[in-house]
Amino acid sequence: MLKEYFDYIVSFIYSNRKLLFLIIFISVLFLFLLSFILWIIISFYILKFFKKNFHENFYFDNYTDNCKKCLKLYGDLPVENIYLIRQPIGRLNSTLLNILTFNEAKNKINSYNNLNINNKYHMTHTSILFEVKLGKNLIKHVNVEKNNNIVITTNHLRYEEQDVMKIKLSKKKKVTINQILEITKKRLGKEKYFNWHLYKNNCVRFSEELLTSLNKKNRKYIKFIYKNDFLDNITISDFKQHILNASINILSFVKNLL
């Protein structure tokens, strides 16, 4: 009798395995979302009790292993050319941002664009591309940008909607990537240098800081990365910033594990 009952259960599971897998997956996802929401709410009020500044988020204090490897290979080579890169952030990132801010990001952009019809704001991602000299006839492109942390890579993707502006360099004085990054880190401090904030310390701000270190913070280049003053006039509530910080930290934790 027991064997027949066991065989029935095994047969039932096997014949309905796809449905059971779906139920388990949905249950796990629901529990994760519920735990995340509870954790966000509870941690917010705990941090608020201790008068935490929610617009500061210090998760990183160093480069990733991939960044260190790239800097070891190319960081001390002479820079031949430098390019500013600008491209749309993409529909997926835009959607995630609107979800995490309860559509506040979209509403603020729409409000700004309604008042500035001739100079509308569009979310873009910026980076700086360094061209270093490997040998007599060889070069390597090294892209430096800030996502949830600093990313330094030679695996630079080129997109159809990408805009590129060449930065005019002095031919007499050669610089290296390591020199520029070290100058920037010393000026900003490790906490601000390595970490990210939605509008105070994002990819555009980081590109501006690199331009400052290069002594190239002039009107033409700043206008290319900013286009208008939207980022200087945006604010977000403490609770929504806390959601962003927590989400970014989870993403960073998963990326570190992988």
Q: Band of the pLDDT at 52, cuts 50, 70, 90?
A: confident
Q: Count Cα neighbours of 130 within 13 Å in the Cβ-side half-sphere.
A: 30
- The three-state secondary structure class of 167 is strand
DSSP character at residue 196: -
Q: Residues 59-73: what's their mean pLDDT?
A: 94
Return d(Cα 56, Cα 49) in angstroms, integer: 16
- The per-residue pLDDT for range 9-18, each reduced to its tens digit, is 667 666 777 7
**Model confidence band, residue 75 (pLDDT cutoffs 50, 70, 90):** very high
pLDDT at 46 over 80: yes
| Rounded Cα gap, residues 211 and 222, in angstroms | 9
State the residue for tokens 């050319």: 81
Q: Is 8 left (phi over 0), alpha (psi -120 to 50) or beta?
A: alpha
Share of the chain above pLDDT 70, in %: 94
The residue count of the chain comes to 258
HSE (side-chain half, CA atoms, 13 Å) at 156: 23
Q: Where are the domains of the chain?
A: 2-49, 65-257
Residue 200: C-alpha distances to residues 57, 182, 206 (Å): 11, 20, 10
Q: What angle do CA 166, 62, 216 make, to 5 degrees?
A: 25
The tens digit of pLDDT for each residue in 192-236 reads: 999 999 999 999 999 999 999 999 989 999 999 998 888 888 888
**% the chain with pLDDT above 90:** 47
List pLDDT tens digits, range 108-143: 989 999 988 888 888 999 999 999 988 778 899 999
Reply yes or no on whether the pLDDT at 26 is more than 80: yes
| The one-letter amino acid at 48 | K
